[in-house]
Chains A and B, each alone.
Chain A
Amino acid sequence: MFTNAGTSSFTTFLSKVAPEMLPGRRPLPPGMAADMAPHATTIVAIAAAGGVVMAGDRRATMGNLIAQRDIEKVHPADAYSLVGIAGTAGIGIELMRLFQVELEHYEKIEGAMLSLDGKANRLASMIRGNLGAAMQGLAVVPLFAGFDLAASDPARAGRIFSFDVTGGPYEETGYDAIGSGSLFAKSALKKRFRAGLSIDDATRLAVEALYDAADDDTATGGPDLTRRIYPVVMTATADGTHRLTDAETATIAEGVVSGRMENPGG
């Protein structure tokens, strides 16, 4: 089964040899299942000069309960791109792992990385595969961002793609947010975002936007100073993807919180 000539795509290979491993291929009993599994919430992404920043809060909810305080929703997709997930956490994590293998697999088989648009399209088709489950309340919506190695202007190489449950990648200009708190995060970014921000400024802005989301959305977690749980912040630049250390995010989050002590509206 491994030696048949064929595709460079890992999901296509899986659909032939182990279709049960693809999230969209499982038969589901009828009915709504929205409240049976934890939901991951807010992710923001900001294009900066020479790269892109993505940050996610740490809360997962189940109805009115907090299912997890320190879930990690922002991950590297490959060496130059990031993926964040909102929606049903279990399916989201599975999709994200599958997407990581998909990109790595293509790179190993073909000896070259997919283009950034190619990666976004691939993710879109994987989301589309989950449409049946999404209509029963188990939706997953990712946010994808990366450094485009083929960009003519390195300053504009940071690009962001959002998706809906039916797939459909939409390239966003400047910034975007997904998840339950995205309305508030996007409103905050709308007022504060400027083109050509430095990576450091964009990082701070991302944490500010997540604070605003947590301020108005109960499903989004703010910086947890007592337990020292802070947002996950990652960057993708010409040097590859990088996750800020806990110490670095702690400094940024504490700065944001102390700013809000004086002016709660930010």
Chain B
Amino acid sequence: MAMQFYASPEQIMRDRSELARKGIARGRSAVVLSYDGGVLFVAENLSSTLHKVSEIYDRIGFAAVGRYNEFENLRRAGVRMADLNGLSYDRRDVTGLALANAYAQTLGAIFTEQSKPFEVEICVAEVGATPDDDSLYRVTYDGSVNDEPGRMAMGGQAEAITGVLKNEHRPEMTLSEAVRAAMKALSSVGGEGGAARTIAANQLEVAVLDRRRVGRTFRRVTGAALTALLDGEAEGDVAPAPGRAKTPTVPTEEAKKPTTSAGSADLEGNAEDKPAE
């Protein structure tokens, strides 16, 4: 008969934590920060199709580092939960806090009950009316949740990145300033001998939750728009995605009716098309 060795619960938890931490530290990092016009996500990602940053709901975004299959599973779960709650109640009743709590429960249960914890760290960000109203929740592999003060970094060497980010970040920065600050923070580590390095624009995954938009606020920033932001040429707004209408500056009439889909609410109130009322 096989002999069962005794391991103290403390030792088991420590081993699991170590496994998760090591797994997360191997991956590339991501930062999330509030800026004047919304919440910015920047992740170092070599793939343009396997996303680390995604949309969950109207004003909620998701960023993750670690093992792709594990956080992709969590992302899908988040979208399902948000869509189910939004349909059962109202679109306004889907909040980042509820989602962060659900993730904490799931990750906490996996950490204690399963033999291998999820090697992921995730951020649930909700954009508010002003940078002060934004909320960023960090949920870690063991299910602990932290409310972060307007900026956060995840992944390998997150502490060093956070240090740079803390110096660079101001809540009233423009999008271009915020993208460059994030870029500076991400590239401050990982060079030879711990020195800074350069990251090409095509290795960055960038997205925003645009606080001036009504309905679905999530947008990816890619290609020429991203290069322009990194070069500091486009100070203010990002160009709308091809085929999309420009951002209305005032909430449209449709937006006041949250029971209908906001899927295209942001497209219905082209401010420049409307006669002044």
Pair A2/B243 contact, Cβ less than 8 Å: no
Residue from the list B54, B79, B245, B275 in contact with A239, Cβ < 8 A: B245
Distance from B104 Cβ to chain A, minimum over Cβ atoms (Å): 14
A65 to B113, CA, bound (A): 60
Pair A245/B263 contact, Cβ less than 8 Å: no
Among B13-21, B83-91, B146-154, the one that faces the other chain is B83-91
Pair B261/A76 contact, Cβ less than 8 Å: yes
Pair B268/A2 contact, Cβ less than 8 Å: no
Pair B73/A3 contact, Cβ less than 8 Å: yes
Pair A241/B264 contact, Cβ less than 8 Å: yes
B26 proximity list for chain A (CB < 8 A): none
Residue from the list B51, B86, B274, B277 in contact with A101, Cβ < 8 A: B86
Which residues of chain A (57-111) have a CB below 8 Å from chain B? 75-80, 97-98, 100-101, 103-105, 108-109, 111
Pair B87/A97 contact, Cβ less than 8 Å: yes
Pair B76/A75 contact, Cβ less than 8 Å: no
A28 proximity list for chain B (CB < 8 A): none
Pair B263/A77 contact, Cβ less than 8 Å: yes
B268 proximity list for chain A (CB < 8 A): 76, 240-243
Given contacts A3-B106, A79-B244, contact A104 B267 (CB under 8 A): no
Pair A97/B259 contact, Cβ less than 8 Å: yes
Given contacts A108-B79, A245-B275, contact A79 B84 (CB under 8 A): no
Closest to B51 in A: A111
A108 proximity list for chain B (CB < 8 A): 54-56, 79, 83
Closest to B50 in A: A111
Distance from B33 Cβ to chain A, minimum over Cβ atoms (Å): 23
A245 proximity list for chain B (CB < 8 A): 253, 274-275, 277
A100 to B259, CA, bound (A): 10
Pair A77/B261 contact, Cβ less than 8 Å: yes
B263 proximity list for chain A (CB < 8 A): 76-79, 100, 103-104
Pair B73/A5 contact, Cβ less than 8 Å: yes
Pair A105/B79 contact, Cβ less than 8 Å: yes
Number of A-B contacts (CB under 8 A): 104
Interface string of B248-265 (1 = CB under 8 A from A): 000001100001110111
Which residues of chain B (73-108) have a CB below 8 Å from chain A? 73-74, 76-81, 83-84, 86-88, 102, 106
Pair A240/B245 contact, Cβ less than 8 Å: yes
Pair A100/B261 contact, Cβ less than 8 Å: yes
B254 proximity list for chain A (CB < 8 A): 76, 243
Closest to A104 in B: B263
A75 to B254, CA, bound (A): 10
Given contacts A3-B74, A3-B77, A109-B76, contact A240 B83 (CB under 8 A): no
Question: Which of B49, B76, B275 counts the most A-chain CB atoms under 10 A from its CB?
Answer: B76
Pair B261/A78 contact, Cβ less than 8 Å: yes
| Range class of the B interface residue count | 35 or more
For residue B130, CB closer than 8 A to chain A, the reply is no
A242 to B254, CA, bound (A): 10
Pair B81/A2 contact, Cβ less than 8 Å: yes
Interface string of A147-166 (1 = CB under 8 A from B): 00100000000000000000
Closest to A149 in B: B243
A175 to B49, CA, bound (A): 39
A98 proximity list for chain B (CB < 8 A): 87
A241 to B77, CA, bound (A): 29
A97 proximity list for chain B (CB < 8 A): 87, 259-261
A3 proximity list for chain B (CB < 8 A): 73-74, 76-77, 106
Pair A76/B77 contact, Cβ less than 8 Å: no
A79 to B243, CA, bound (A): 10
Residue from the list B83, B243, B245 in contact with A10, Cβ < 8 A: B83
Pair A75/B54 contact, Cβ less than 8 Å: no
Residue from the list B253, B259, B260, B267 in contact with A79, Cβ < 8 A: B267
Pair B267/A101 contact, Cβ less than 8 Å: no
Closest to A234 in B: B268
Pair A242/B273 contact, Cβ less than 8 Å: yes
Distance from A229 Cβ to chain B, minimum over Cβ atoms (Å): 15
Question: Which of B80, B216, B243, B253 counts the most A-chain CB atoms under 10 A from its CB?
Answer: B80
Q: Which residues of B contact A (CB under 8 A)?
A: 49, 51, 54-56, 73-74, 76-81, 83-84, 86-88, 102, 106, 216, 243-245, 253-254, 259-261, 263-265, 267-268, 270, 273-275, 277
Q: List 27 A-B contacts (CB under 8 A).
A: A2-B77, A2-B78, A2-B81, A3-B76, A14-B84, A17-B84, A18-B84, A76-B263, A76-B267, A77-B261, A78-B263, A79-B263, A100-B260, A100-B263, A101-B86, A103-B263, A104-B216, A105-B79, A105-B83, A108-B54, A108-B55, A108-B79, A108-B83, A239-B267, A241-B268, A242-B270, A248-B275
Given A75-B261, A100-B260, A108-B55: 8 more A-B contacts, CB < 8 Å: A3-B76, A5-B76, A76-B261, A103-B261, A105-B80, A239-B267, A242-B273, A245-B277
Q: Which residues of A contact B (CB under 8 A)?
A: 2-3, 5, 10, 13-14, 17-18, 21, 75-80, 97-98, 100-101, 103-105, 108-109, 111, 149, 238-243, 245, 247-248
